[in-house]
Structures are given as C-alpha cells and as structure tokens.
Amino acid sequence: MTSTFSSCSKDDDPATTAPTVTKKITLYNTSSGSPVEAGSITFAQLADSSASATININSGYRSGSSMPANISTVINGTALIYANLAAVDGNTGTSTTSPVLPAAGTNQPVKYTTLIGLTGYIIRVTSGSNVQAQGTL
C-alpha cells in the first residue's frame, strides 16, 4: 500500500504575485530650465487588480538621503496629494510601493486601471524643497 501526503501552504497573496500589465513613465529634472531625463516610474497591475509603483532615479539625481515621493494634482490652486509613495533610497535611487494606497479615504489599494486613468496628475520625487524628478500621468 502506498500513501501520499501533501501539505497545504498559505495561498499566494494576490497583492504580491507577479504583475500582469505595466506602464512606464519617464521622470525629468527641470532645474536647469530644460527637462533632463532623471529616472522612471513603472506602475504594475497586480493579480488582485491593485497597482504597485517602482521608482528608479538616475545616479546624477540621487541625494544620498531618503527622498519622499507622491502623486498629486492641483485643484483651484491647491495641491492635493492623491497617494504617498515609498520614499526613494537616496543612495540606490529605488523604491517600491506595493500596493499603492490613497493618501486619504478608505485606505483600500488603488486599482491599476484607476491609477493609470488619472489625467494631469504629477509624480514627484523631492529632496528638501528641490524637485529631483517628476513626470505626468
């Protein structure tokens, strides 16, 4: 008689499984007056349809210290933050936010299709009062 035993493991977390769809946006530094490519942000659709964001900043624009990042817009002259992203490591120039959460509201993960459907929103990476890199959705 042969017996077979198997163990059950926790199901994969849908928010951490491999992305199925991505969108990459170039980020620019405009401190010299002309836009210069400073890095990129890649939004990925996770298995549960939420979004993740991975930022990569080019070496010339890294500050050596943590750099806050967010997605924002301006309405009636007031800047409104849509989502705070994980701070970019000032030495490696990278950060990953998974899943992206709204800055206010339900604290439910932002859906990928909602995020990439935003128009006129700005992605910003800052160091103090300096904008190191930014791009537009």
Q: Tell me: the pLDDT tens digits for 38-89?
A: 999 999 999 999 999 999 999 999 988 999 999 999 999 998 999 999 999 9
Look at residue 106 in the predicted model and tell me its pLDDT: 79
Other beta carbons within 10 Å of 60:
12
Predicted TM-score (pTM) of the model is 0.83
Q: Give yes or no for a contact between 129 and 68, defined as CB atoms under 8 angstroms apart.
A: no
10 — alpha (psi -120 to 50), left (phi > 0) or beta? beta
- Domain ranges for the chain: 21-136
The number of angstroms, rounded, from the C-alpha of 58 to the middle of its chain's C-alpha atoms is 16
| CB neighbour class for 90 (10 Å; exposed up to 12, middle 13-18, buried from 19) | middle
